[in-house]
Every structure is written in C-alpha cells, then in structure tokens.
Amino acid sequence: MNNPAQRPVRHVIFDLGGVVFRRDPSRRQELMRFFAFLKEREYPDYWVDFDRGLLSQREVAERMAVHRGCSADLCERNISAALELQQEVPLTKALIAELKERGYGVYCLSNMSAEFYRHLLEFEVMGLFDGIVMSCEEHTVKPERRIYEILLGRYGLDPAEALFADDREANLRSAETLGIRTVHFTDPESGCRRIRLLLGLEAAESEL
C-alpha cells in the first residue's frame, strides 16, 4: 500500500508493449523465437535506433539480417507480422477506462517505432489517453531520463502524484529516480491488480 506520507496518485502512466498491447498468443510462437533478443536486458543498437525514430523499418531489417544471419526480406516480413499481431489487452483497456471515469489522468509513455505507433493509433484504447509521449517522436528512449522529463513537463505532472506501469525493470528504476511510483507489469492480471491496490481501489488482502 502507499506510504501515508506520500501524496495520493492523480496520474497513471502506461507503457504500451507488454502492458496495453500484446501479440496474439495463438499465432506468436514462431515470431517470439525470432525476436527472442527483445527479451534480453539490453536491445541491439539498431532496435533502439528504430524506437528512437532514427531508422526506417527497412534499415532495421538490413541490420537485423546481419545480426540474425538471414535475409533482410525475411526480417522485414517478420517485423510487419509482429506489428499485425498486436492486440489490445482487455484487462488493461478496462482499467484505463475505469481510471478515466474515476477522474485520474491517464498517460502513455512508450518506446515505439513510427511504424508501430501509426498502426496502434487505429485501436480504440489509444483514444483514452490524456497525453502520449513516444520515443520515435522525441528521439529519446526509456530508460533515458529525458523522455520522462518530457512527459512530466508537457502535461504538467507532479512526479510525486504519478504512478508508472512498465514491463521492463530498467525503465521503472529511471522513473523512480524522478520520484515516480512504479508497478512492474509482468502480466495483465497481476499488473492491473497491483495498480488497483496501490490506488486503493482494491482491498489489500487481494494483493498477489
């Protein structure tokens, strides 16, 4: 539960990949093996530059081909397939809608390439956010401090009143250095439950 000395949370910030969106689990096994490197602690430089908005999808595919030892065309097809398999996480979407109804500010802070971002904008959940900061538009990525400062400054958020949910621990640690409370979002059920618990929307005995 929150420390009594802390101010109440007024703003909840969500990452996208692994939190608001996930790949269709019935079709993702082959792609998960292909993109297994994205589960590592650090991403390859070319993927970071993709999220930073410095490389196109084709340029990333060419660099990935060298890394994976396969053709650039295969890499580009798999990137496109990974994009098309993205789906809203129903539990997270419902929580975001509930938080808005309760008067919380809801925001998105994500590392995302321009291609992926354009595609995800077609989903209804993206229209629920009060503000969005994307790495591809700002040319800075989590866990770099600058991208958090952009979000806080642009929307006038007090970090002491903010909660951030992300699936990567390094991103959470950076947020914490700014005084933002965090939730490690490892799966939708436990992640949404922990957010509700921290906000006092769910009884403490239900904490996982």
- Which tens digit of pLDDT belongs to each residue from 18-58? 999 987 766 667 777 888 877 777 889 999 999 999 999 99
Examine the domain organization and report whether 105 and 38 are in the same domain.
no
Examine the domain organization and report whether 169 and 200 are in the same domain.
yes
Read off the CATH number of the domain in which 130 is found: 3.40.50.1000
How much is the pLDDT for 68? 87
Examine the domain organization and report whether 98 and 134 are in the same domain.
yes
Examine the domain organization and report whether 38 and 125 are in the same domain.
no
Could you tell me the sign of the dihedral formed by the alpha carbons of 53, 82, 33, 56, in that order?
A: negative
Low-confidence winner among 22-31, 140-149, 158-167, 180-189 (lowest mean pLDDT) = 22-31
Residue 96 lies inside a defined structural domain of this protein: yes
CB under 8 Å to 51, separation ≥6 — which residues? 43, 111, 112, 113, 135, 136, 141
Q: What's this model's pTM, rounded to 2 decimal places?
A: 0.90
The average confidence (pLDDT) of the chain is 91
Residue 157 lies inside a defined structural domain of this protein: yes
How much is the pLDDT for 3? 53
Using pLDDT thresholds of 50, 70 and 90, give the confidence band for residue 2.
very low
Better pLDDT: 179 or 38: 179
Quote the number of domains for the chain: 2
Examine the domain organization and report whether 115 and 173 are in the same domain.
yes
165 C-beta neighbours (distance < 10 Å), count: 27
Q: Is the pLDDT of residue 206 over 50?
A: no
d(CA 68, CA 58): 15
Using pLDDT thresholds of 50, 70 and 90, give the confidence band for residue 174.
very high
Examine the domain organization and report whether 15 and 112 are in the same domain.
yes
Tokens of 120: 């995800």
Residue 104 lies inside a defined structural domain of this protein: yes
3-state secondary structure of 41: coil
How much is the pLDDT for 4? 44
How much is the pLDDT for 28? 66
The domain containing residue 146 runs over which residues?
Answer: 11-22+87-206
Residue 109 lies inside a defined structural domain of this protein: yes
pLDDT tens readout for residues 71-117: 999 999 999 988 888 999 999 999 999 999 999 999 999 999 999 99
Examine the domain organization and report whether 115 and 199 are in the same domain.
yes
How much is the pLDDT for 102? 97
How much is the pLDDT for 78? 92
Better pLDDT: 5 or 177: 177
Q: Is the pLDDT of residue 194 over 60?
A: yes
